[in-house]
Structure 1
Amino acid sequence: MRFKWNYDFIKISKYFYTFSIILIVLGILSLAIFKLNYGVDFRSGSNVDVTLTKPITEAQAQPVVEALKLSDDPSITIGDGRMNVRFEKVLTDTQENQFKQAFNKQLDSGASFEVNTVDPAIAKELERNALWAVLAASLGIIIYITIRFEWRFAVAAVVAMLHDAFIVIAIFSIFRLEVDLTFITAILTIIGYSLNDTVVIFDRIRENLRFSKQKKSGDIKTIVNNSISQTMTRSLNTVLTVFIACVCLFIFGSESIRMFSLAMILGLVFGAYSSVFIASPLWLLLKNRQKPKAKTPSKTTA
């Protein structure tokens, strides 16, 4: 037996709009003041992955790394049998050898190293390409939904999609979480899931409008609420399945995919409610502002 969600989703959407607006304003302020905490993928520098042969704490590693004076503020992250040291400046071959020798001598003689370097030109190019990827996805979605549905559906879907992406970016900026290439992958994946949920609801709205004789403003609102109710169980099942997998990746996965998993978790949560409380009410608002078609005068027979 299918569970029926008998709620006035459109009525309570104003609370979600308020919540989203607050988050967006905080995000804009955070981005303007602090910007994003870019990882080495998006800013120049060297990233050294160290495979350890014995346990080392951050308190032990910090004085050794800082004593080398290779960077103003090196960042150290220690995981299970691994350590990552990020330098804000690109290390020369001499500096790399200096780091390796000091590490082997003072901390772990059997440690092995992998050095990844990103110069300023590549960092800027990666940042630019990431922005173009999001813009290209938005344009493709507008064209697709406009052809399949109508432009009002396209506008509502893109607003919801950009809402989800920006909220996740805002949270990462507010809490100073690191943004790298896996984060961009997460954003594009979030866009896909958000769009999928939105299109499912829009498809049901279009179907219900086609077979309904109710065309007044209040009647269309009822159709939207019914359409959301009819697709709610399906949407929740889809989101929960991926959500559980992402939570498991976040808890049990390696350090390299932790931020990807966190971005996915946030995106799935905001994507689930934006399809219901952002995209659908926005389409209804645009639909209600549609000018009624002029009636053609009926011909009178002589």
Structure 2
Amino acid sequence: MAWRLRLAPEKTNIDFFKIQWLTFGGSMALMVAAFVFWGMYGLNFGIDFKGGTTIRTESTQAVDVGAYRKALDGLAIGDVVITEVFDPTFRADQHVAQVRVSSADAEQAVGEEAVGAVQAALTALDPAIKFPSVETVGPKVSGELVKTSVLAVATTSILIMLYIWMRFEWQFALGAVLALLHDVFITVGIFALFQIKFDLTIIAALLTILGYSINDTVVVFDRLRENLIKYKTMPLKEVMNLSVNETLSRTLMTSLTTLIAVGAMLVFGGDVIRGFSFAIFIGVVLGTYSSVYVAKNIVLMIGLDRSDKPKNGRPSDHEFANIDA
């Protein structure tokens, strides 16, 4: 018989409600703390949200990001993000980078003097360097990006809630979305607490977290719906425990394999994607936790109507339950 790795026994009987005052209560406390950190420290916005200038460089010499950053140290400029650009159409001796510079004053755009100082410092390092393009994003455009990012997260949450409502019941939809917001708010709170750079890549990470977390929650809810039909007289809390236990092995395996991939990105991905990888890593952990301890607790508190109500001429727990989606 082939040996198979199991992260959990084939059958478990864990009472996930036994210490709900600690698990669910702790989650609520963390959300409150996240808002407090957000209010006290604010977010350390990157160039995308503060405004800045992108200077494209081109040289016959290889790009040394560390040397570029060292050459720009001490200049009267704000944050600097240096990214080497790769393209299969580039010549063998064509080395391109993007130097993104934010203004030292968040209310002002990067001035020509600051751009000139950056170009002079890089030219002193590499006399062969050229500057094909210089693009500036002002604070007004950055403010619009902030609003658009918030709108993207809010719209995604609403659409997910509508889908879950159609697929299950409104109680499931509310529980799922509140669990998603739990994951997002705590992640943002961690970024505020440690003042980690917050830019558009983090927004992409938050949207990815929403997708990952709802996938895990839907698996639990789908099993819960099947068991609600199967065990009509079993108390709701026990049906929920049974459903989470039955999907526990799948939940742990999915989370572990995802964390291995994201952990590799976090360790070996470098500075450019470190913030993104960190957000995803935290989000996967929180998403797994909320699927087990948060979403179903909210549904339990709201309650479910378990009476038999045939709809559309067939016995079903929900009129949309048999949609193939």
TM-score tier, shorter chain, comes to 0.7 to 0.9
Specify the alignment match of 1:31 in structure 2.
Answer: 38
- Inter-partner Cα distance in structure 2 for 1:195 and 1:61: 43
Alignment of 1:221-236 (within 5 A): 221-236=237-252
Residues 131-184 of structure 1: per-residue CA shift (max 9 Å, x gap): 111111121122111111111111100110100011100100000001111111
Q: CA deviation at 1:31?
A: 1.4
Quick one: which amino acid aligns to residue 109 of structure 1?
P
Q: CA deviation at 1:252?
A: 1.1
Q: CA deviation at 1:100?
A: 0.8
- Inter-partner Cα distance in structure 1 for 2:189 and 2:196: 10
SS at match of 1:86: strand
**TM-score normalised to structure 1 length:** 0.82
1:163 to 182, 187, 202: 182
Summarize the Cα distance change of 1:98–1:29 in structure 2 as closer, same or farther, 3 Å threshold. same
Q: Is the 8 A contact 1:54 1:108 kept in 2?
A: no
1:4 to 11, 20, 40: 11
**TM-score normalised to structure 2 length:** 0.77
- Inter-partner Cα distance in structure 1 for 2:30 and 2:79: 29
- Inter-partner Cα distance in structure 2 for 1:209 and 1:100: 67
1:183 to 202, 224, 229: 202
2:101 is aligned with 1:86: yes
Summarize the Cα distance change of 1:17–1:57 in structure 2 as closer, same or farther, 3 Å threshold. same
**% of aligned pairs identical?**
36
> More helix by proportion, 1 or 2?
1
2:217 is aligned with 1:198: yes
Quick one: which amino acid aligns to residue 158 of structure 2?
L
1:172 to 181, 191, 201: 191
Q: Is the 8 A contact 2:46 2:79 kept in 1?
A: no
- Inter-partner Cα distance in structure 2 for 1:139 and 1:76: 36
Q: Is the 8 A contact 2:53 2:101 kept in 1?
A: yes
2:266 to 227, 239, 250: 250
1:259 to 264, 275, 282: 275
Summarize the Cα distance change of 1:26–1:115 in structure 2 as closer, same or farther, 3 Å threshold. farther
- Inter-partner Cα distance in structure 1 for 2:19 and 2:129: 57
Quick one: which amino acid aligns to residue 140 of structure 1?
L
Q: Is the 8 A contact 1:52 1:83 kept in 2?
A: no
Summarize the Cα distance change of 1:41–1:276 in structure 2 as closer, same or farther, 3 Å threshold. same
Q: Is the 8 A contact 2:47 2:100 kept in 1?
A: no
2:217 is aligned with 1:213: no
Worse-superposed segment, 164-173 or 48-57: 48-57
Summarize the Cα distance change of 1:176–1:84 in structure 2 as closer, same or farther, 3 Å threshold. farther
- Inter-partner Cα distance in structure 2 for 1:61 and 1:120: 22
Q: Which runs of 5+ in 2 are unaligned?
A: 85-94, 309-325
Q: Is the 8 A contact 2:23 2:293 kept in 1?
A: yes
Q: Which runs of 5+ in 1 are unaligned?
A: 294-302
Specify the alignment match of 1:240 in structure 2.
Answer: 256
2:155 to 127, 130, 136: 136
2:44 is aligned with 1:44: no
Q: Is the 8 A contact 2:65 2:83 kept in 1?
A: no
Residues 59-103 of structure 1: per-residue CA shift (max 9 Å, x gap): 66423x24xxxx4xx235679998956332433445423421233
Summarize the Cα distance change of 1:182–1:54 in structure 2 as closer, same or farther, 3 Å threshold. closer
Alignment of 1:272-291 (within 5 A): 272-287=288-303
Residues 185-237 of structure 1: per-residue CA shift (max 9 Å, x gap): 1101100111111111111111001011315xxx2211110100111111111
- Inter-partner Cα distance in structure 2 for 1:236 and 1:115: 47
Specify the alignment match of 2:92 in structure 1.
Answer: none
Worse-superposed segment, 246-255 or 168-177: 246-255
Quick one: which amino acid aligns to residue 261 of structure 2?
A
- Inter-partner Cα distance in structure 2 for 1:116 and 1:255: 22
Q: Is the 8 A contact 1:52 1:110 kept in 2?
A: no
Quick one: which amino acid aligns to residue 293 of structure 2?
F
Instruction: Count residues in correspondence.
Output: 281
- Inter-partner Cα distance in structure 2 for 1:254 and 1:279: 34
Q: Is the 8 A contact 2:109 2:139 kept in 1?
A: no
- Inter-partner Cα distance in structure 2 for 1:266 and 1:115: 35
Specify the alignment match of 1:300 in structure 2.
Answer: none
